[in-house]
Structure 1
């Protein structure tokens, strides 16, 4: 084949949660999430005898593999590439269901989503690398994946490793831009995986799954502040999940879910009406809801430095809150573009908060 020597390149953007965190892990509870113009890039080149997986972020842990009876066999015992491997496993399973011959290749990963010294910003690098790997292999094997298929295949691969979460970061990495997102019924998927092959699963409607592209108001600006302290999303979500099972917390949690859904619905309407004021009001309501949830769950969602970041932004007319699981990482501000933010950003800097100079990315069709 003449085109076997070409290099396949696929990119997937990072993400930020704007609102609806924690509630979004439950089926049918929406969140607003955004794709950013910082990417994970995956390159694939065909090989003959030995394949490899390499990452600029993990130079000392490059992974080499062979094929034995169609399966990838690894030489390294321990590796940091779980999401990439899961993405390869499920994409190749799908390709094999389509009757395609498995090939050998070198896969290289590079990421903009962490700081130069390797600190995580909380921008969904594990989701982006999963999506970029599925996307690249989709091109390599000529699978012609649609965006819904890409989302579902990457979601299955990511869930196989992480075990929890809403997969909203996968949606942001597939679609980019501003999204209203509700996750699918995870228990349904577990059962459906027992009874269906991937080809069938990818073409099914997944109960509860909703992904809707949103247009932001023309006068809205997104600012991102990084606190310098990475947080573990899986760990924080686990803590909230454990606390909700306690009897006195159950009613508080259910109330939080209902309040969050009502808040996000109003916020989405704000996007549709082009109303920055409505969206900002939603951000402020959601911040209060998350702080209340944190207190009830004994989880430090809004850390003192995030509180400082948000309060400073509010004093300059912005609407601010923690982003994602909280506990550190990033906070977001939605502010009118006409407001001069120079003094705000200086105040952040003086308080050890770094502005991440990233823009919203709109994925091309």
Structure 2
């Protein structure tokens, strides 16, 4: 029996803009995991089992008279996609295929099954890829795991930056810029998977960051789950109608995140906090342009309470629920902050940053 794990993630800054080329975001991996165990099957059938996902709901929409199932929130779709692409790579390495049982166990949901917004689909993809590569005894690197996972995830989701994949693979604090999706699609149609995995991907950048001493990450959960893929769909549909405003948002987000990265390199907590506040305002304006709710009332309450205790706070990820994050320092009264959160229906999450040995 082989067991591997992949951590969840939280976005710190740069959401939505990170979907585009040359627009960085900052993410952090947290110490909640998806674990995948794999073992050779004893019988004539293989098994894929998950305790958490066996009762998962299926979303669907109507296109004309046709019912269309949206499987992007169904973790089994990501598991199956990860198996498909990882086995395709293994076959190109002349590996003999065999039957196996795959067991998935996740910390990334609450006790009653609600998602925290920690990137469970990305983590389950990464863990599945890692498990299969190890099962077949192939030499692996983080770059190989990232690229295989990104291809697998994108083939299901159809949008997104793969920043959550990067956080699950590389761990810690990181700055991330996405790759050229059109280039990747074209390369996969003209070359073998192994060839594409060995190429440099245009635009892709992963930079590990060292947090300043005394900087603390505080996480609060709104107790309302959200669907990233559906929110991204809405903003993608609106882009062409708000072209100049969208371009301005991208430039402002890029400048904001670059200043935040500078704050990490200079160990300047105040600079990081200022850019967190600026990024919050950018996202609020972006939400207004797109007629979407990123900062729901409970997240606004989370942020306002954090600011009372001199913490710099904003939504994390696509918003419309899930988590908010606070960048705090030694002066921030975190205990009192969390008590006030609880009084207002906000659940503090005592997660820590998870670094991965290189």
Of 126-135 and 237-246, more deviation after overlay is shown by 237-246
Tell me which residue corresponds to 1:88.
Answer: 83
Tell me which residue corresponds to 1:291.
Answer: 284
What secondary structure, in the 3-state scheme, does the structure 2 residue paired with 1:286 have? helix
Are residue 251 (structure 1) and residue 234 (structure 2) matched? Answer: no
Superposition pairs of residues 324-363 of structure 1, within 5 angstroms: 324-363=317-356
Are residue 185 (structure 1) and residue 180 (structure 2) matched? Answer: yes
Within the candidate set 19, 24, 37, 1:25 is matched to 19
1:338 to partner: Cα distance: 4.0
Within the candidate set 210, 229, 232, 1:234 is matched to 229
8 Å CA contact 2:75–2:124 kept in 1: the answer is no
What secondary structure, in the 3-state scheme, does the structure 1 residue paired with 2:273 have? helix
8 Å CA contact 1:219–1:338 kept in 2: the answer is no
Are residue 104 (structure 1) and residue 105 (structure 2) matched? Answer: no
Tell me which residue corresponds to 2:198.
Answer: 203
Are residue 128 (structure 1) and residue 123 (structure 2) matched? Answer: yes
Mapped to 2, the partners of 1:155 and 1:58 lie a distance apart of 21
Superposition pairs of residues 117-156 of structure 1, within 5 angstroms: 117-156=112-151
Within the candidate set 154, 164, 168, 1:169 is matched to 164
1:109 to partner: Cα distance: 0.4
> CA 1:59–1:164 in structure 2 vs 1: closer, same or farther (change >3 Å)?
closer
Q: Deviations over 1:69-123 (max 9, x none)?
A: xxxxxxxxxx851110000000000000000110111100000000011000000
What secondary structure, in the 3-state scheme, does the structure 2 residue paired with 1:87 have? helix
1:60 to partner: Cα distance: 6.2
* Structure 2: tracts of 5 or more residues without a match: 57-73
Aligned alpha-carbon RMSD (Å): 1.1
Tell me which residue corresponds to 2:60.
Answer: none
Within the candidate set 201, 213, 221, 2:216 is matched to 221
Of 125-134 and 79-88, more deviation after overlay is shown by 79-88
What secondary structure, in the 3-state scheme, does the structure 1 residue paired with 2:52 have? helix
1:58 to partner: Cα distance: 3.1
Within the candidate set 253, 265, 285, 1:260 is matched to 253
What secondary structure, in the 3-state scheme, does the structure 2 residue paired with 1:327 have? coil
Within the candidate set 52, 60, 74, 1:57 is matched to 52
8 Å CA contact 1:225–1:331 kept in 2: the answer is yes
8 Å CA contact 1:45–1:105 kept in 2: the answer is yes
Mapped to 1, the partners of 2:313 and 2:267 lie a distance apart of 19
Q: Deviations over 1:287-314 (max 9, x none)?
A: 0000000001111111111111101101
Mapped to 2, the partners of 1:102 and 1:275 lie a distance apart of 52
Mapped to 2, the partners of 1:84 and 1:114 lie a distance apart of 17
